Structure 1
Amino acid sequence: MHSLINRIMPSASGAHLFAVVALAGLFIWFGLMNLAGLTEATVERWLQPHPLAYLVTPYKTWLPYALGAIQLFAGVMIAIYAVPQRWKRVSYGLIGAISIASLSLMFTNPVWIESLGGFPAIGSGQGLIKYVAILGVALWFLGTKGANEIMLIGLILVLGWIGAMKFTGPEAEGVWPLLTGSPVFNWWLTDFGKQMASNIIGVVELITVILLTGHWWNRKAYEVGLLISAATFVVTLSFLLTFPQSWSGGFPNLSGTGHFLLKDAVLLAATFILYRD
């Protein structure tokens, strides 16, 4: 099994290159969307309930553009090979800061599903918790101790929490259109019906979480968990091609769902890094 997984997963240099492309691509894309003025309403909606919002409220008109400029700067600095290492480190630091700021929104915004009783029924916060793994990847590039553990916790958090939500009605409703439009799933999984199909995915994701904890008790289980995680993120990224609602008015303007899905490129990079590191 180890030799098979070893052949499937990219080399250490390949994992590094993919992580650079995924992280740079994500922040360049998000940065350009902010600079194009496509996210003003979204930024305001997330910012309004934040206890520190009063500090930037006078500048809220310019905030999406300032954020976009920072995101674009960080992404470009990471992407260009010839950029001095000190500027790359600044860029990874900026991404880390953005990730932490984004995670702070978990405590200040309506990220829970009230119809299910609120916490821990996570709704719009599902995209926010992905910033744990994104933070871990940025810290890994900075050579920070514990970065691998942060990436792993990020993967466990995403797969475990969202996987558990698959057993609820609202999550089954949300994932169904993705399944029916996907050639990976629409020829077999949809035959089980909306809720059962969602349950099956939830079971797979929770089993993956158990395997990922093999990091602390069994290397073989851990490697299988990383492989299944990688396959999961490849499939979710494919929804960008098969789910039209990933786009708001068409490519390249991502919708909220598109934002959520594109982050999985960095989570995929995290699985490659963890396997090879």
Structure 2
Amino acid sequence: MLNIGCHLSAAKGYEAMGKAAVKIEASTFQFFSRNPRGGKAKKIDPKDVEGLLKIMKENKFPIIMAHAPYTLNACSASEKTRKFAFEIMKDDLNRMEYLPHNLYNFHPGSHVKQGVDIGIKYIVDMLNSILKPEQTTTVLLETMAGKGTEIGRSFEELKRIMDGVALSDKMGVCLDTCHVYDAGYDIVNDLDGVLNKFDRIIGLDRLKAIHLNDSKNPFSSHRDRHEKIGRGFIGKEAIVRVVNHPKLCHLPFFLETPNELSGYAGEIKMLRESYMW
């Protein structure tokens, strides 16, 4: 079965997200750990969490994923911003233990002209200060498009971060189709080559999730603008090849396309009909 879902709003609570996912026939979903622009998170309601866990069990959801706010920049030139990132992630990972054995994804951040080496050091330092042996959550680095001074535009940069983390077994990667295409990895014409490169540099066993997005911009544009499946430069056929690839088909797929629930439902239905396994 294709394990696919979309990004849902947590504004109405955890159980409401579970009900929304079931309504559109998703088998997983992603949500922001708090307001995408950061700030204080909503207090955890144990009954609300229990409601979601029940829905997940009844509908056989294998895994879900939280996404850190976009304002989390662990490698900023500002010490205040780095401290904010530390506090947000530490709190988020504590909260994730209410939903054990799931995924937490974040953008590595932008080094803001300090240089990649310094940026990676800051990210590694933060992770080494936060990750705990007893945590059940796997933390994912997201592949980035490479706009500005973003870190994570290459598999090599992600590898350097993971190599520096002491508890590397708590780490993985989320591959975003729009981002890698915009970064210069040709998943349209050479998906096998891209996956082989990922395997050589990082290892496909570290790939834990995929963001399924078409791209509004052409190959290697370094722009990062998502598009609905089949309406961008990646195209429906290439996205279908991604979900059907024997090295990827077992992973959870998360749609982040510019859609409302009805649009996500249509994309999920289309991709399920195209699934060969």
Higher share in strand: 2
Larger RCO: 1 or 2 (CA < 8 Å, sep 6+): 1
Do the two structures share a fold, i.e. TM-score over 0.5? no
